[in-house]
Structure 1
Amino acid sequence: MTPAVKMLESAGIEYAISEYDRHLSGDGALRDFGKEAAEALGLSDDEVFKTLIVVVEGGPRSPEMVVAVLPVSCQLSMKLIAAAAGAKKATMCDPAAAERSSGYVVGGISPLGQRRQLRTVVDESAQLFDTIYVSGGKRGLDIGLTPGDLIGVLHATVAPLTA
C-alpha cells in the first residue's frame, strides 16, 4: 500500500485502484506517463490527471514548491499556476527535488500522501467528471476518486491551469 492509498484510507474516502503493465518505448526510454496510464486503462486523456511540482516566486512564501494537478491532455500554464498561487512567476521543479519533497519517483508522483504536503492547485476541469484518476504513488498504479474528495482531502485550490 502506498502513502497515497494510506492517506485515503485514513480519511475514509472511497477510491478505486487501477493497475496496469508499463510499456517502455523501443529504445527502453520512459515516455509520457499520464498518456500511458490513460491508454492502458482505456480512459480519456481528459479524465486522467498528472501531478506536476512547480516552484513559484514573488509570492508571500517565495520561493515555494506547489503541486499542480491537471489533465494529461493539457499543458500547464506557468502564468496561471503562478496566479493561482498568488505569485509572480512559476518554473518547473527540478525532478530530483520533486522526488525528495514528495517521496515518490517521477512518473509515480501522487498529489496524495506526499512526504511533505505542499499547497495544491487542481485544474477546474476536474469538476466536469464524476471520477478522475491520479497517480497512486508508483508507476503503473492510478487511483480513481471523485474530484470533490481529492480537493477536500488535499485542502486544494481549484483554478484554471491550462491555456
Structure 2
Amino acid sequence: MYQPTNAKQITSAVAERLDTLKDEGLALPAHYNAQNALKAAYLRLQTVKDRQGRPALTVCTEPSIANALLDMAIQGLSPAKNQCYFIFAVSKQTPPDKGAFDFEDTDTQYLMKEALEEIKEKQDRFWQVMNGEVEPKHCGKCEYCRSMKELAAFQHVTDIEVD
C-alpha cells in the first residue's frame, strides 16, 4: 500500500507551481484566491475515503492528487463553494493503478452525460448478464477474458495490439 501523504505538503507544492505558472503568464480568474481554494481542498482531503473506508491520502499517489488540485486551481474552482469534487479511484489490476479525478469542465460534464445515457440504454442488458440470462460480450483484454481465452487459429504478428 502507498505510504500516507501529507495534504499540506501537496497543497503547498501546488501553490508554488501555481506561482511559477503565473510568472510564466498563467492568468487565474478575476477575484479567485487560489490559496483559499487550496486551503479548502486541504480540509476536504482530510475527510475523503475510498470505498473500503481508507483515507484517500493513503491510497493515492502524491502526483495524482497534486495534478487534480492544480487542475482545480487553474480552472478557478473551489471545494468551499462546492464547485469541485474529488474522486479517487483504484483499479482491480495487479498491481492496481490509482488516480485522482475531477469532473468540472464543460467537456467532461458533457461526456459524463453522454456516458450516463449509454448506461441507461444498456441497463437492461447489464441486468440480464448479471442474472445469468444472457452471456456477456467478451472484450478480450481484461484479466477474465485473458484467462478464458482459447486458441482457435494463428494470428498474424501485425495483429498484436500494444497499449
Q: Flag the structure with more relative contact order, 1 or 2, with Cα contacts below 8 A and sequence separation at least 6.
A: 1
TM-score (norm 1): 0.23
The structure richer in strand per residue is 1
Report the structure number with the largest CA radius of gyration: 2
TM-score by length of 2: 0.23
Q: Which has the higher helix share?
A: 2
